[in-house]
């Protein structure tokens, strides 16, 4: 009995305690002097086990909440970072387009135009790539927030 009192196999031992309790109910009369002693021992061990089980569950819940908060904050930070990078890249793109429109004719005009068009192309590709990352990150964040309770239930079962 003592070994199951100190067990961390919550599910299996809970089932075992419930079976022992059901068996206790069906045993029938026991000598009075033994009945109280056996019941006190069984009840004490059972209470201690469930007290530890509840404490363990509360600890897991706190750990889950901490990890969830950290993940959500990390995801929000990543979304904000991507949003800033897209805005910065759009500003660069605006500057490159303005510079392209304001090229003055001269010896290096063709070279400058080619360079600016390459920068515009790179910037456009980067904006698209960052936009795809942002969309995926927002979808993941929305999914996690929408399924928060389901995820919590799965975490508590472990």
- pLDDT tens-digit series, residues 101-141: 999 999 999 999 999 999 999 999 999 999 999 999 999 88
Question: What's the whole-number mean pLDDT along residues 43-52?
Answer: 91
Q: What is the predicted pLDDT for the residue at 152?
A: 59
- How many other C-beta atoms are found inside a 10 Å radius of the C-beta of residue 128? 12
- % of the chain exceeding 70 in pLDDT: 92
pTM metric for this prediction: 0.61
* Helices 109-146 and 32-101, packing angle to 10 deg: 160
- % of the chain exceeding 90 in pLDDT: 51
* Helices 148-157 and 32-101, packing angle to 10 deg: 140
Here the contacts of 56-60 (C-beta below 8 Å, separation 24 or greater) are 56/8, 56/10, 57/156, 60/155, 60/156, 60/158
Q: What is the predicted pLDDT for the residue at 70?
A: 87
Q: What is the predicted pLDDT for the residue at 20?
A: 87
More confident residue, 87 or 19: 87
HSE (side-chain half, CA atoms, 13 Å) at 135: 6
Cα distances from 40 to residues 1, 8, 43, in angstroms, run 13, 22, 5
Q: Which two tokens stand for residue 43?
A: 């009840």
Residue 5 has pLDDT above 70, yes or no: yes
Distant-in-sequence, close-in-space partners of 127: CB < 8 Å, separation ≥ 6? 86, 89, 90, 93
Q: Which two tokens stand for residue 27?
A: 């045993």
């Amino acid at each position: 009995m003592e070994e199951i009192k100190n067990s961390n196999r919550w599910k299996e031992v809970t089932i075992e305690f419930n079976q022992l309790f059901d068996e206790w109910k069906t045993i029938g009369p026991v000598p009075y002097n033994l009945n109280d002693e056996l019941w006190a021992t069984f009840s004490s061990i059972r209470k201690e086990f469930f007290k530890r089980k509840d404490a363990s569950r509360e600890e897991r819940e706190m750990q889950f909440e901490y990890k969830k908060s950290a993940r959500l904050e990390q995801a929000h930070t990543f979304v904000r970072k991507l949003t800033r990078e897209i805005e910065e890249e759009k500003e660069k793109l605006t500057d490159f387009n303005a510079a392209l429109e304001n090229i003055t004719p001269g010896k290096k005009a063709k070279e400058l135009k080619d360079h600016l068009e390459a920068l515009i192309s790179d910037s456009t590709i980067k904006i698209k790539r960052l936009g795809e990352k942002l969309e995926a990150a927002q979808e993941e964040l929305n999914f996690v927030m929408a399924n928060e309770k389901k995820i919590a239930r799965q975490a508590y079962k472990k």
